Chain A
Amino acid sequence: MISPVKVWRRQKEIRKILGKKGKVLIWTKIFTPGSDFKKYAPYPVVLVELENKEKIYGQLVDYEEKDLKIGKDVISILRKVRSSTDEGVIAYGVKFKPLK
């Protein structure tokens, strides 16, 4: 079970980076995930440089294969980021989706 305190502290940071546009710096696609991410596999992970130069990692969702490229414009959105146990606090966090 993820510590609820860790989720709480993290969510304050997440608020600041929601709804931000950026470009993909590097990407990969994960086929063999760790336990908390089995539900989402296979999934791409991108490193994005936001307009304010901040760099953020996140999964890329609602994408087509052609969106997986360096330089692609994306925007940060709110999604569930890891599936802990059925008992634990839900971890919401940042993922990215491609912009047209």
Chain B
Amino acid sequence: MVGIVSYGFYIPKYRIKTEEIAKVWGKNPTDVKKSLLIDEKAVAGVDEDSLTMAFESASSALSSVDVDRNKIKVVLFGSETHPYAVNPASTILAEFLGIEKNYLAYDTEFACKAATGALISAQALIKSGFSDYALITGSDKGMGKTHDVLEYTAASASVSLLLGKDDLILEIVDFETFSSDTPDFWRREGMRYPSHGGRFTGKPSYFYHIENSAKSLFKKTGLAPKDFSYGVFHMPNGKFPVQVAKSLGFSEAQIKDSLTVNYLGNSYTASALIGLMAVLEKAKAGDLIFLCSYGSGAGSDSFVLRVTKNLEKNRKEFTKIIKEKKYISYPTYLKFMEMI
């Protein structure tokens, strides 16, 4: 059985409130909050990027277990805001972590599901005996054009997962994936900000792929939503995950703990994984967790995860950590995002 041995997350200190952005553009903040269900989002500082945040979350994941770093022979870096268009951040990360050179590294891209896709490949490399451990990172300093809905939702965060086959805290019981060519959200080479198809990002994109991915997995495993203690979905805004969960048959109680988007925003490749971080603060041994990511372009990876008794002693605080925050103004936000 392959699964997660250790985890780490990093959320930058800064937050910007929806009303701070809304008042610049003359929008009614209450209307915006009602439509997106986001009160505030996390913003990385001007000197932070997906790599520096990945280093924080990966250091956290590696510090809580006694693992010989030379046994980590797979390092995969998933992002849509890679520091370079060409030059692997995965090796920069591995080097700073002191992982020595006989490892496979590559950077992955599939919009918001770059990390979960990598997770699937990585567990296979462990199962095949190539490596005892694999380090996966999902890390983004999410960008959105001004005066666009993404300005309220695109956020920064990073999650790192150390995969292995012994002393697991979460077993990867099974997984499925669903892919198609659906251009709902994209960014061309050389463009700073992503573009999207507006309402096209809904039914034919997010909902279609998540529903099909989830249903494939339910069929494969014979499980149903009622068998899970928690459901965690990719969160582009506060409404979509609630709606898709309901349409699949999950209750509000099953997903409420995972809805980090309400107060942290959508950190792209880290989005669903941050939801998982919130859930792991509470989950108990034996709980089944349904994790379902979505990546525009488009595709969805779904996972059945089982919590083991090892989670208890390796549990990390989440609620307390994210309470340490500092609000910034709109001009400071633009400065941090290097938009001015």
Contact = CB atoms under 8 A, between A and B. Distances in A.
Interface string A18-51: 1100000000000000000001100000000000
A41 B208 CA distance: 47
A58 B13 CA distance: 19
Contacts of B92: 92
A80 B13 CA distance: 16
Interface residues of B, number: 20
Interface in B33-74: 45-49, 51-52, 55-56, 59
A77 B13 CA distance: 14
A78 B338 CA distance: 19
Contacts of B49: 80, 90
B26 interface: no
A78 B56 contact: yes
A15 B56 CA distance: 13
A15 B98 CA distance: 8
A15 B96 contact: yes
Given A78-B55, A79-B52, A90-B83, A40 B47 contact: yes
A11 interface: yes
Interface of B: 13, 45-49, 51-52, 55-56, 59, 83-84, 92, 95-96, 98, 326, 335, 338
Interface of A: 11, 14-15, 18-19, 39-40, 59, 61-62, 77-81, 90, 92, 95
Given A18-B96, A59-B47, 11 more contacts: A14-B96, A39-B46, A39-B47, A39-B335, A61-B47, A62-B13, A78-B96, A79-B45, A79-B47, A90-B49, A90-B84
